[in-house]
Structure 1
C-alpha cells in the first residue's frame, strides 16, 4: 500500500512534464541567446578581459550555486528552472563544458545580438568598447551549433529523430541590438531596426526547422526596457512626461519592446502556418516583468522595485564604475525580495516567476514533446 501511495505521488508530481512512459517529454535542450540564457559562455568568449568580468566574482551565484558560474544573476536562470521542470540537467555552456552534449548545449553569450556585428559597424555604432567587435550574434551561434552537430548525429534520419525530440530556445534576442543603437539614436529611429531584428530571428528559426529538423521551439520576446534600471539611469534627465506615472518606467522604451514583440508574434504565426507539424511557442518576457513591476508585493518583492539588489551608488544603484562584483559594490540583504539583480538581469526569484509563465505557455501549446503521450 505504501509503495502504491508513493508511486501515485510521483506520478502526480511529474504529470505536467513527464509522459506515461516515465521519460521526460524532451531528451535535450539547445539554447541560443544573450545573457538572460548564458550559463557560462561569456567568461570564455571574452577571456582576454575575464579578470575584469564581474560575473566571475561573488556575489554572483551565491543564492543557489554558492559560487559564480558565469551566469548573470544570484542563482538560477529561466532556462535552469525549465530544465529542472522537464527533468533534464542544466544546459551546459558549450565553451566551458568538457562532457557530453547529448542532453543539450547552450550557445548563448552575454551581450549577443540577433543581427551580425557588421550591421552595427556599417552604421557607425561601435558598441561596448571592451566587447564589441567580437561577434557572438545569433548567426554565429548557429554556426557553432552546426559545427557540433556531427558529434550528436551522423545520418539525416538520425539527426531528424534526435532533434525532433529536442527543445530549442531561440532567444531572448533583440535587447542588445536596441541598446547599442540607443548610444547614438533616439527611440523613434531605433524603431526602424525592429523589422530587421525580427526577420533575423525568424530566418534562424526557419533554418533550424528546415536544415536541422527542429520540431519544438520556444521563442522569447524582449523585456520592457523602459523599466530596466540601466536605461532608467542612462536617461535620468528625461522629462516627467516621459515616465509612466504608475510604474516609473520610461514609456517610449517600453513601446519599442511592445513593437518588437508584436512583430515577432506575427512572424511566428506565419511560421506556424507554414510548418504545421512544428510547435513554435512565443514566450512572453515583457508581461511577467511588467506584472512584477506593477504589483511587487504580489510576488514577494519590496516596493522600490526598480532598484537593483547588487550595485553601487546612484538612484537605481546602477553605477558603471562600481558594478556588482566590484569590491566597492554592496548587495541587498534579501535578493529574493528584489526583481533586479545587477541591472537589466533578474534575480533568481524573478527568473522563477518568468519560467512558470513560459511553462504555462508551453502547456497551452500542448507541450510539443508530449503531444503524442497521454498526460495525467
Structure 2
C-alpha cells in the first residue's frame, strides 16, 4: 500500500473514531494486562511516579501518566468502539466506576519474576480482587433493591475482552543484565508459560474472549540502540540479535496461542502480529510520512538516536521536536501518537490478526 493509501486508512480510522462507529451493539468491556505500551496512568497513580510534560502534550494537553505525546494504541482501540478511555485499576481519584473495564498494565511490567510489582501474575491477582469485589457489590445492590446498572455483573465479566500485551521487558531486562543471546532465548519458554497460565486462569474465571499482542522489534528501539555495547546492526540499523530474540518469542507465543485455541474449545483467542506492523513502519517510514525512525522526538544528544540515559524526556535539559513532527519514537522506547495511530489502524484492518477477527467481535450479542 502506498503512502496515499496509508494516509487514507488513517484518515478513515480517525473519522470513524470521531463519529463513534465502533460497531458494538452492547456496551464494550475491556480488561488490559501489560506494560508501558498499554499503561494509561498505572505507574503514576499506583506509585506516584512523576511523568511530566511534554508527555501528553498532543491530545490531552497535560500529562496523564502515559509515556507518549498523546494517545496509546489501547486508547485508539477503545475509541474505535466509541468507548471511554480505560482508567488504571489503581487510580483512586479517577471517579470512575469502571463500567467499561479496567487497565491493569503498568510501566516496567514483565511476566517474570513473579510477585514483583507489577508482574503479570500480580495484575491477575488485582483483577481477581476487582472481580470479586464488583460481584459482591452487585449482590448487595440487588438485595436492597437498588440499581446495579453501573456495576459489572458476572455476564459482563464473561462477555468482556481480555487484552494481553507483555513480554518486551522480559527480553529487554535479560539483555540489560548482559546475558548472552543464548541465555536470553533459553528463558523464552518460561515467559510464554506465564502468559499461558494467565489465559487459563482468566478462562477458569469465565473469560472467553482474548486478544494477545506479540512483542515488537526490540532491536529497533533507540534507547536499546544507544545503550547497546555490541552493535550487530542489520540493514535498517537495528540490532539483529535483539530482533531475532523477539521473533523467537513471537513464534513461541503464536504456537502457544494455537494450542490454547484448541484446548479452550469455547474461547476466541486472537493473536496480533505487532512485530510485523512496527517493523513495516520502520522499514517504510518515509513512505508513511515519518522521518528518522530510529531517532527520538523527546530526548537529548542529537543524531543518530537523540537518546541520553542521563537526560530523558521530561527531565531537566531535554529537547523535544516540534508538535506535528512525524517521528516514530517518542522517548526511545515508546511511540508517538502519530505512530500509534498507524499501528492501531493496522490492528483494526485484521490483516495482522490470527484468526482474522474484527476488534469489536466481543461486543456483539
TM-score normalized with structure 1 length: 0.82
1:184 Cα deviation from its structure 2 partner: 2.6
Aligned to 1:176: 169
Aligned to 1:125: none
- Is 1:143 equivalent to 2:146 in the alignment? no
How many angstroms apart in 2 are the aligned matches of 1:14 and 1:261? 33
Flag the 1:215–1:60 CA change in 2: closer, same or farther, 3 A: same
- Is 1:321 equivalent to 2:318 in the alignment? no
Structure 2 unaligned blocks of 5 or more? 1-14, 140-151
1:372 Cα deviation from its structure 2 partner: 5.7
1:165 Cα deviation from its structure 2 partner: 2.2
Aligned to 2:234: 244
How many angstroms apart in 2 are the aligned matches of 1:41 and 1:319? 25
2:282 to 293, 301, 314: 293
1:104 to 76, 101, 105: 101
How many angstroms apart in 1 are the aligned matches of 2:324 and 2:331? 10
1:39 Cα deviation from its structure 2 partner: 0.3
Contact 2:159–2:363 at 8 Å: present in 1 too? no
- Is 1:352 equivalent to 2:341 in the alignment? yes
1:276 Cα deviation from its structure 2 partner: 2.6
1:144 Cα deviation from its structure 2 partner: 0.6
2:219 to 223, 226, 231: 226
Aligned to 2:228: 235
How many angstroms apart in 1 are the aligned matches of 2:122 and 2:363? 32
Q: Secondary structure at the match of 1:169?
A: strand
Q: Secondary structure at the match of 1:42?
A: helix
Moved over 4 A (4+): 370-373
1:233 Cα deviation from its structure 2 partner: 0.7
Q: Secondary structure at the match of 2:261?
A: helix
How many angstroms apart in 2 are the aligned matches of 1:202 and 1:181? 20
Aligned to 2:299: 311
Structure 1 unaligned blocks of 5 or more? 1-8, 119-133
How many angstroms apart in 1 are the aligned matches of 2:284 and 2:33? 31
What is the correspondence of 1:116-195 to structure 2 with a 5 Å cutoff? 116-117=113-114, 135-154=117-136, 160-171=154-165, 173-182=166-175, 183-195=177-189
Task: Tell me the alpha carbon deviations over residues 149-200 of structure 1, each in whole angstroms, 9 at most, x when there is no partner.
Answer: 12333599x85411232111111x1111122111231122100111110110
Q: Secondary structure at the match of 2:105?
A: coil
- Is 1:18 equivalent to 2:23 in the alignment? yes
- Is 1:28 equivalent to 2:29 in the alignment? yes
- Is 1:95 equivalent to 2:77 in the alignment? no
How many angstroms apart in 2 are the aligned matches of 1:223 and 1:335? 24
Task: Tell me the alpha carbon deviations over residues 236-286 of structure 1, each in whole angstroms, 9 at most, x when there is no partner.
Answer: 552xxx2112x1111111010100000001001011111232111112211
How many angstroms apart in 1 are the aligned matches of 2:88 and 2:63? 14
2:254 to 247, 261, 265: 265
TM-score normalized with structure 2 length: 0.84
1:370 Cα deviation from its structure 2 partner: 5.3
1:43 Cα deviation from its structure 2 partner: 1.6
Q: Secondary structure at the match of 2:62?
A: coil
Q: Secondary structure at the match of 1:299?
A: coil
1:299 Cα deviation from its structure 2 partner: 1.7
1:83 to 57, 69, 78: 78
Contact 2:218–2:243 at 8 Å: present in 1 too? yes
How many angstroms apart in 2 are the aligned matches of 1:287 and 1:92? 28
Flag the 1:370–1:321 CA change in 2: closer, same or farther, 3 A: closer
How many angstroms apart in 2 are the aligned matches of 1:307 and 1:213? 44
Contact 1:42–1:70 at 8 Å: present in 2 too? yes
Aligned to 1:60: 55
Flag the 1:181–1:370 CA change in 2: closer, same or farther, 3 A: closer
**Farther off after superposition, 257-266 or 175-184:** 175-184
How many angstroms apart in 1 are the aligned matches of 2:324 and 2:226? 21
Aligned to 2:3: none
How many angstroms apart in 2 are the aligned matches of 1:347 and 1:165? 32
How many angstroms apart in 1 are the aligned matches of 2:114 and 2:203? 24
How many angstroms apart in 1 are the aligned matches of 2:309 and 2:362? 45
Aligned to 2:8: none
Q: Secondary structure at the match of 2:269?
A: strand
